[in-house]
Amino acid sequence: MSGIALRNIRKAYPGGPTVLHDVSMEFHPGEFIVIVGPSGCGKSTLLRLIAGLERADAGEIEIAGIRANDLAPQDRDIAMIFQNYALYPHMSVRENISFGLELRGMPKAQRNRRAEEVARMLQLEPYLERKPGALSGGQRQRVAMGRAMARNTSTFLMDEPLSNLDNALRVAMRTEIKDLHRQLGATIVYVTHDQTEALSLADRVAVMKDGHLQQFDRPEVIYDRPANRFVAGFLGVPPINFVAAEKLPGWQGMQGLTAGLRPDILSVHAQKPAGPALEARLVLSEMTGSDLLLHCDSAAGRLTAIAPRRAMSDPAAQLWISYDLDRALFFDNDSGERVDLARDLRSIRTAEE
Amino acid sequence: MKPENPVVAVLSLVVGLLFLSPVLYSIWMSFQTADAFYAGRVTFTLDNYERAVGQFNFARYLLNSLIVSGLVTVLGITVATLAAFAFARFTFRGGDLLFGATVATLMIPSHISLIPNYLTLAKVGLLDTYAGLILPAISNGFAAFFLRQYIRGIPKALDEAAYMDGASPLTVLWRIIVPLSKPAIASMALYIFITEWNNYIWPLVAVGRQDLYTLQIGLARLYKINPGEGLVDWPLVMAASTITILPVLAGFLFVERHLVRGITMGAGK
């Protein structure tokens, strides 16, 4: 097992924009790290730098305590799973899995045993002699994982490994990857633009935007205390509501703030409730299974609330929405940074009561 | 295949026959005796083939042609594949310029390099050797260009996966790129082989010794065998020509399957 440290990594493509600006992170051995961000944020480039497929313009990459900037990919004790799997089309599944072992000089019998072992773990045994072209998307994905696992490396890099699968398979593979991580105990660096994958898989999540690291922390912290407006907006389904804080009835705090209200801290009432609430007009209600998503227009702007379907069998057109200001997030309008107001607010509340 | 429009089918047949007619005519001619041919009579004889094979070290010329064309093909494909891999996959100082120069060689008629090549080989004493026949032909700009384009169509992620698996660049070339480029390499190998097989002017210039003559030179010498007064023995020449076609035809049948795929590459999955 080995940790990875990135220090002030900078990368620009020749003639192109800078894709990474002074990114620094440290991954502990055995950690499951997810790097998440919209496309073009530099997350894949970062992964390729760790793999050794690209060179950093500045900064330091350290793997297992050793400076790795100048190490070739094959000397980094790292395996990688590519977005489109990159299976060798002219080789059978067995050859795909054992190719890396062959290049490292493992004798054939031993190689075959290892390939079969890995195939058993991934339920690929019946397909060992097939070519990738004769496999389904999910099976190819498994072969890609098998190829990475065969070498017993201490670090796995995964570049959107589930993005080509349909939804049901994606959910199933997500569980399997998590399970594999537990079994192998290896460090995993996983790149995705899917926030559900980020929150459900990671020990720690790195959120990136435009080549800058926005926040790097445990998923709960990222969700509950996002560093800025971008992080708050990027993670969470349905997405957080942003409204000008002054427009919230009962608001007595400072000016120039945006309030972030996650749908689950909003409550919907048919009559005006006690305490601060917004009057709203229902625009659209979406059924999501056990819950209803209620999109409403209010004096503060468009708000999306979530309510249990059973309690809201037939939402009226005119509603009242109350909110739990203790759980609301506040962001500076100019910088976008989150402002910690919890203590102030509590005192305002007590004064009211 | 879909049944063709009959008009198209007939037109295709006509065009095909048009292309084939000189070949068919020369094959037909090779079975005539010289006397009958000049007298306008139709006969049938295998005599010309016997004489063609029997005269002038025919076997020797055939062997020389096989050695020269075979080695030019093997060495030429090796050089072109290595160059194509470098051009397709690596960025290096002057790479674009070098590639541009490689492509530019396609615009230079081969005869222009005839004299410089001759002088160079004369200086290093390689005239009248196999090496002198082979070396100038092993750099083939067209093959390098064609293979580079083909290799660029192979996803780079495959290379990267192999590097992660522990491969060196040459391993990537040999284990990933070459197997996946087989159709293109087969096409180019056949192209180089045929070009060299039919090469006339360079062997004529570079070689004076009879035991190094290739088939094309030997064939040209057959013109000098006159049955009578200043006449060329065309049936004899045609019999020899027909024999020289056979190895090329065999080569084509050998790589046909790959060749057709190479030509239609990119036309679908």
Cβ of B165 within 8 Å of Cβ of A100? The answer is yes
Structure tokens at B75: 């060495």
Residue B67 has pLDDT above 50, yes or no: yes
Which superfamily is assigned to B57-224 in CATH? MetI-like (1.10.3720.10)
Total structural domains within chain A: 2
Domain ranges of chain B: 57-224
Interface with B, mutate which of A76, A99, A147, A189 (most B CBs under 10 A): A99
Calculate how close chain B gets to A81, using CA atoms only, in Å: 8
* B167 at interface of A, judged by CB pairs closer than 8 A: yes
d(CA A281, CA A298): 6
Residues A179 and A83 in one domain: yes
Range of the domain at A251: 239-352
Looking at residues A271-276, what average pLDDT do you find? 86
Structure tokens at A230: 């971008």
* B155 at interface of A, judged by CB pairs closer than 8 A: yes
Task: Compute φ and ψ for A249, nearest 5 degrees.
Answer: -55, 140
Q: Among residues A233, A266, A287, which one ends one of the domains? A: A233
DSSP string, A281-322: EEEEEEE-SSEEEEEEEETTEEEEEEEETGGGSS--SEEEEE
Torsion angle (degrees, nearest 10) of CA B235, B237, B241, B244: 130
| Partner B, chain A 83-122, Cβ-Cβ below 8 Å | 83-84, 86-90, 99-100, 103-104
d(CA B134, CA B235): 31
Q: What is the pLDDT of residues A125-167, one digit of tens each?
A: 999 999 999 999 889 999 999 999 998 898 999 999 998 888 8
For position A56, what pLDDT does the model report?
93
Across-strand partners of A133? none
ipTM of the complex: 0.84
d(CA A210, CA A208): 7
Say if CB A30 and CB A186 are below 8 A apart. yes
Structure tokens at A53: 């497929």
pTM of the predicted protein model:
0.83
Structure tokens at A347: 């005192």
Q: Among residues A233, A258, A286, which one ends one of the domains? A: A233
To 5 degrees, how large is the angle CA B180–CA B193–CA B176? 15
3-state secondary structure of B198: coil
Q: Is the peptide bond before A238 cis (omega within 30 degrees of 0)?
A: yes
Nearest CA in chain A to B157: A86
Q: Give the residue from B50, B48, B15 showing the smallest Cα distance to B29.
A: B48
Q: Give the residue from A169, A93, A102, A150 showing the smallest Cα distance to A125.
A: A93
Question: Which residues lie closer than 8 Å to A203 by C-beta, 6 or more apart?
Answer: A31, A32, A33, A218
Q: Among residues A233, A255, A286, which one ends one of the domains? A: A233
Residues A9 and A149 in one domain: yes
Q: What is the pLDDT of residues B186-218, one digit of tens each?
A: 989 999 999 999 999 999 999 988 889 998 888
Q: What is the pLDDT of residues A277-296, one digit of tens each?
A: 889 999 998 988 888 899 99
Most confident by average pLDDT, A168-177, B43-52, B103-112, B150-159: B150-159
For position B261, what pLDDT does the model report?
61
DSSP string, A29-61: TT-EEEEE-STTSSHHHHHHHHHTSS--SEEEE
For position B266, what pLDDT does the model report?
44
For chains A and B, count residue pairs whose Cβ atoms are closer than 8 Å: 55
Banded pLDDT at B228 (limits 50, 70, 90): low
- Strand-by-strand arrangement of the A241-244 sheet: A241-244, A257-261, A329-332, A338-339
Residues A124 and A264 in one domain: no
Residues A197 and A254 in one domain: no
Task: Compute φ and ψ for A10, nearest 5 degrees.
Answer: -125, 140
Structure tokens at A315: 């939402």
* B162 at interface of A, judged by CB pairs closer than 8 A: yes
Cβ of B163 within 8 Å of Cβ of A74? The answer is yes
